[in-house]
Chain A
């Protein structure tokens, strides 16, 4: 976290940018490991509070072949804990399938062997780094761009722990 004078002059421009530092909130593109243990992560993803273990028998079923069903977990539904914890319900990528554990409190650990099911980069080749492509948008005028050090607002991130203006 940064220290220093967090005053109005140093507020990052724009609504989506200015995510300074490594841990200033949000997932920053990190994968949700589907762990219901980490309530903060689920909340940051905009999910409801985690599903209490005993709702599994109250949730209605949506799909016949849901793997959650086989593992005695609640199936995909509005408040289903599978959805809340971002567990897949499909056959192919279902991580629930890979476990022999059926106790609901172990549902949290099910996806640790297959984190790619929650990875935004799933499908990209391994053993490589990927920087996303920048689009041509949010481009400043000459005067503002020069002052800011770039004409591209999307790339404009200030150092908030500086002690000068």
Chain B
């Protein structure tokens, strides 16, 4: 069950619009390494986790990623609000605008719509946690790429915050993997899937 708080996890107050930058940053909303995918991935995986601590990590980080997609969407919104047609025509933003005006829609920087094909929930705790470690690194590197394109401090500040969270999440998934390992026999971690083979 989810409750909503009427605040952002970190402030976003952007004074200067920049539609082209918005088209790069929108990728962390609906792109392959973005927050929507992260959230859906973790919230989907938690049901078959064998250890309650790990289910807790997935629930809490999955929830935090919802707060992050709100941050990314807010950044995109503030970079594109109040634009005029003259400011839009002839820019890369024009092709997004024609379908969405200055609405917020989950897509990658390339224009590909968000897809569940970019996430996995395998039902195998070892595989799922490795997927999550990789996902956090992909999210981190995408923020690195965005930071190379940003000059405005108002945009830099929340993006740096979001990037830092990916490192912390990586550490937590790493610890979750250690927890899963502890619950298995190290002589053969792969003897069975603890989430499926019940009587081994």
Q: Considering the chains assembled together, what is the distance between the CA atoms of A133 and B130 in angstroms? A: 16
Q: Considering the chains assembled together, what is the distance between the CA atoms of A149 and B64 in angstroms? A: 13
What is the distance, in angstroms, from A145's C-beta to the closest C-beta of chain B? Answer: 10
A157 adjacent to B156 (CB under 8 Å): no
Q: Mark B144-176, 1 if CB is under 8 A from A, else 0.
A: 100111111101100011111101101101110
B164 adjacent to A131 (CB under 8 Å): no
**Assuming A162-B150, A163-B147, A163-B148, is B174 touching A131 (CB within 8 A)?**
yes
Q: Considering the chains assembled together, what is the distance between the CA atoms of A134 and B133 in angstroms? A: 16
Q: Considering the chains assembled together, what is the distance between the CA atoms of A155 and B164 in angstroms? A: 9
Q: Number of contacting residues on A, CB 8 A?
A: 24
Question: Interface on A for B, CB 8 Å cutoff?
Answer: 125, 127-134, 146, 148-150, 152, 155-159, 161-165
Q: Number of contacting residues on B, CB 8 A?
A: 34
What is the distance, in angstroms, from B39's C-beta to the closest C-beta of chain A? Answer: 18
Q: Mark B127-154, 1 if CB is under 8 A from A, else 0.
A: 0001001000000000110011111110
What is the distance, in angstroms, from A113's C-beta to the closest C-beta of chain B? Answer: 24
What is the distance, in angstroms, from A42's C-beta to the closest C-beta of chain B? Answer: 30
Q: Considering the chains assembled together, what is the distance between the CA atoms of A5 and B174 in angstroms? A: 32
Could you name 9 residue pairs across A and B whose Cβ atoms are closer than 8 Å? A130-B174, A131-B175, A134-B171, A149-B160, A149-B162, A158-B160, A163-B149, A164-B147, A165-B156
